[in-house]
Amino acid sequence: MKTEINLLDRYPPSSRTGKVGERAILITEEQREISRQFGEQYFDGDRMYGYGGYHYHPRFWQGVVRRIRDYYQLAEDASLLDIGCAKGFMLHDFKELMPDLTIAGLDISEYAIAHAMESVKPFVRAGNARELPYDDNSFDLVTAINTVHNLPLEECKQALREIQRVSRKHSFVQLDAYRTQEEKERLERWVLTCKTYMHVDEWRNLFEQICYTGDYYWFIAE
């Protein structure tokens, strides 16, 4: 049964001052096109194109993975797929916390996969969320955090169906969304890679339309 639940409430809040604030003012379609290649510029280039250096630090994901483990009461030998795994930071922390966990990661970025943490490199691969290279009912939990919305609408629907297909128990997605016109305008100023963002009620209607039964939450620009 679908539940709206913030499973990233232990992720440290980010600051939007300095170069990040400048990006909100100066962002162009050309920047977005470069960012949507999900290459070196996006991960490790100038902050105007994305992360401005995407490096591992335990404070970011350790609290989150404990939160997810406890919420879903994952068995020590459960299986997890993270879609949009990037360099595998969350997967690394999951394995640190649960050594017997079976992990898999998928990301559209060949750059991110090539630069993944050594601890997870054997378990990650490049691919598109709209066509997951896994059998039906393969994983106890499938996560897609700030990933699915980077696809056009029809491909978003397909990705959510794929998440449903490969999960045998639980799934969780976090999506760009808004509740007010002010939040919508703020989101439109910030987004670099997102291609599909909607009012939270529109997302819920989409879930019903495609019979997505997993859990979900929103990224709301502040």
- Supply the pTM of this predicted model: 0.93
Dump pLDDT digits (tens) for 85-127.
999 999 999 999 999 999 999 999 999 999 999 999 999 999 9
141 domain residue, yes or no: yes
80 domain residue, yes or no: yes
94 domain residue, yes or no: yes
Going by C-alpha positions, the residue among 62, 65, 87, 63 that lies closest to residue 78 is 65
Going by C-alpha positions, the residue among 54, 204, 68, 205 that lies closest to residue 142 is 68
CA 102 – CA 79 distance, rounded (Å): 4
CA 220 – CA 222 distance, rounded (Å): 6
13 domain residue, yes or no: no
Which pLDDT score is estimated for 27? Answer: 80
Dump pLDDT digits (tens) for 148-176.
999 999 999 999 999 999 999 999 999 99
7 domain residue, yes or no: no
The residue-averaged pLDDT of 194-222 equals 96
Dump pLDDT digits (tens) for 127-140.
999 999 999 999 99
Q: 218 is written with which tokens?
A: 């929103």
Q: 29 is written with which tokens?
A: 């379609």
209 domain residue, yes or no: yes
The range of the structural domain enclosing residue 206 comes to 19-219
Contacts of 186 (CB under 8 A, 6+ apart): 178, 221, 222
CATH number at residue 104: 3.40.50.150
CA 19 – CA 136 distance, rounded (Å): 43
Q: What is the tally of structural domains in the chain? A: 1
11 domain residue, yes or no: no
166 domain residue, yes or no: yes
